[in-house]
Structure 1
Amino acid sequence: MTLSPRPGLLDITPYKPGASAPKGAIKLSSNENALGASEKAAEAFRNAGDKLHLYPDGGASKLREAIGQEEGIDPARIVCGAGSDELLQLIGRAYLEPGDKVVQNEYGFLVYRLVALQCGAELVSAKETNYRADVDTLLEAAGTDAKIVFLANPNNPTGTYIPEREVRRLRENLPEDTLLVLDSAYTEFVDEPDYTSGMALVDEYANTVVTRTFSKIHGLAGVRLGWMYGPAEIVDVIHRVRGPFNVNLPAIEAGTAAIRDRAFMAKSKAHNDQWLAFLQQQIGGLGYEVTPSVCNFVLVHFPDEPGRSAADADRFLQQRGLVVRPLQPYGLPNALRITVGDEDANRRVVEALAAFAGT
């Protein structure tokens, strides 16, 4: 007799991260930090090598205390995980049952779909306006029975955000028993005056959580580390469903050093500010439509024409050793997502797109 998985699991298309770069190529497909990681975090990671025979602190207390101090929040209301991806999955495991409704914006992060499908829930995508989440369509999709609404703000892969007043309007008009998950993975790159990471909303409204990551501004994508801030009752539930040692010891040490290295964060932010503006101005100047971004990547649109399409551009870039992210899985077949790299990478991708435009 053949062992069968739970119904619906074989319908899931596994998440595919940005393509790895072959030797000698430049990887601009995964929104990694162009400056690498904080040297203080790297040193803490190396020093952890002397303690690899020990189990980590199951509650990641040292890391939670450091996050709490730097963010000005209660460490007891923080849960750490193996990337924010794990925390999103734990939320689904804790609160979703087969048939429940999950809502996301049209071009929401693909992990939300995986969370819903893994739990047998129904996923509803709300139309966006100009590649930006639309609170009215999210509320219409949620209705009176949505169990979870996921909102990445800023959003990946579009790079857009909605202001604090709209996030508040979303929370205020959702049913009280609908969980709003604010995915703020790119929050450190944003300095728009009307933006909020959502941390204050967690304190003001029930059934609201924020997830954050060490993969972007901190440059720790390789150690898989993230955290969630939420009401005490929800945090308690997530602790009950997570693994007892879900964050490894080197990650705890590296994350503790990284969250305290504000100088590296500022340096990363300054680099991104400079080169994000460069990419948007230069690529836009070549005649391509570029969606305004507040993240560490740009969304570039191509015409749906043979020889000029996003797929053609992707092949052209690959031939020149530049690996970017095609977006067919997101329903954006005519766009490419390009990560902000170091100066050489940024100039090379502009030169390659200029050559492609002239072919």
Structure 2
Amino acid sequence: MAIQPRDGILDIRPYKPGSSEAPGIANPVKLSSNENALGCSPKAAEAFEASSARLHLYPDGGATKLREAIAKEEGLEAENIVCGCGSDEILQLLGKAYLNPGDKVVQSQYGFLVYRLVAMQSGAELVSAPEQNYTTDVDAVIEAAGDDARIVFIANPNNPTGTYISDAEIRRLRDGLPASTLLVIDAAYAEFVDAADYNAGLELARERDDVVVTRTFSKIHGLAGARLGWAYGHRSIIDVLHRVRGPFNVNLPAIEAGTAAIQDRDFMRRSAEHNAKWVDWLRQQIGGMGLEVTPSVCNFVLIHFPETPGKTAADADAYLTSKGLIIRGVEPYGLPNALRATVGKEDENRRLVDALADFMKA
């Protein structure tokens, strides 16, 4: 008899990333993982390559150079930052550090799938609060949290919906939660948002000892393959995360690439401008076909399909794949009638729209 893991581990469904293959088609267009259409900063690529001469050396376990660069560019304190192997590692570290079996974890209805994994890995109970118009409902989250939630995860903006709530609403949420509840604001897509009422939550995390903000280099910086993320919060939280992370959890090339990327503000600006142009264009064009598209401030759009046979999300997914266009089904999020499409390069965006138009006409 095989040795059995802890109760509940075998109930976990491993995270399934966006597909990158279309059977029978060479070099398909991948629009399934919200990757940066412009690639990464050339300066980051150069720094990554230059680090190859030092691959025999261990990296700085504290990623000091990277933390100091982030602090300088974001106006933060380096000692209140911890880096990780993607922001998903930091989310898992938070679960490892703060959750016990039976604890309550709360997310919004269509929250990022990793929150469920974090809860299940710790034997905690996950509660999903209903959303309004595919947007986090603060009152519903507060009600779901009650007086005993251990962690509340809020992706702001949210994946896969692309919606956000204002700084005022985030603050109202924090004020409505018990002091014993840790509010985790996952701001992976923050750099794409230019709305005046939006805030990534860093100021709130500076003011309080019960808020932590996670960020990633995978989106605006285009370093998804390097696996790099960071978190900012009260020193007491960061100290705990340092205690539970691996001693060398960020590799040397990632540290070098991330340091160069965070300093390349021009690349970030160009990425944001490209996204702003094409996310609006995609919504307009796809919406003109009679399909509902949820307003998005991220680098993707959520497209809703009817249940009409031949026109369903599954039908559209199969058709697009046959044309070498790979987007993302979001049935695991509880959205079986929707697909998520990443903003690509101009020609990729136009190919997607043309193919969807053909699908809808067929």
**Contact 2:163 2:297 (C-alpha < 8 Å) held by counterparts:** yes
Q: How many residues align?
A: 359
Determine the structure 2 residue equivalent to 1:329: 332
For residue 20 of structure 1, give the secondary structure of its aligned residue in structure 2: coil
Determine the structure 1 residue equivalent to 2:130: 127
Deviation by residue 1:250-270 (Cα, 9 ceiling, x = unmatched): 000000000000000001011
Alignment of 1:1-359 (within 5 A): 1-22=1-22, 23-359=26-362
For residue 347 of structure 1, give the secondary structure of its aligned residue in structure 2: helix
Deviation by residue 1:222-255 (Cα, 9 ceiling, x = unmatched): 0000000010001000000000000000000000
For residue 242 of structure 2, give the secondary structure of its aligned residue in structure 1: helix
Amino acid at match of 2:178: P
CA distance in 2, matches of 1:98, 1:277: 44
Instruction: State the TM-score, normalizing by the size of structure 2.
Output: 0.99
Shift of 1:320: 0.6
Instruction: State the TM-score, normalizing by the size of structure 1.
Output: 0.99
Shift of 1:2: 2.6
**Contact 1:132 1:162 (C-alpha < 8 Å) held by counterparts:** yes
CA distance in 2, matches of 1:349, 1:6: 45
CA distance in 2, matches of 1:306, 1:117: 36
Shift of 1:206: 2.1
What value does the CA root-mean-square deviation take over the aligned residues? 0.6
Shift of 1:304: 1.1
For residue 100 of structure 2, give the secondary structure of its aligned residue in structure 1: coil
Q: Which ranges of 4 or more aligned residues in structure 1 deviate by more than 4 Å?
A: none
Deviation by residue 1:136-158 (Cα, 9 ceiling, x = unmatched): 00000000000000000000000
Deviation by residue 1:45-77 (Cα, 9 ceiling, x = unmatched): 000000000000000000000000000000000
Tell me, which stretches of 5 or more residues in structure 1 are unaligned?
none
Deviation by residue 1:151-181 (Cα, 9 ceiling, x = unmatched): 0000000000001111000001100010000
**Contact 1:176 1:206 (C-alpha < 8 Å) held by counterparts:** no
CA distance in 1, matches of 2:340, 2:132: 19
Tell me, which stretches of 5 or more residues in structure 2 are unaligned?
none
Amino acid at match of 1:94: A
Shift of 1:88: 0.1
Which range moved further: 15-24 or 41-50? Answer: 15-24
CA distance in 1, matches of 2:208, 2:234: 9
Deviation by residue 1:162-216 (Cα, 9 ceiling, x = unmatched): 0111100000110001000000000000010000100000012221000000000
Amino acid at match of 2:305: F
Deviation by residue 1:288-342 (Cα, 9 ceiling, x = unmatched): 0000000000000000121010000000100110000001100000000000000
Amino acid at match of 1:328: E
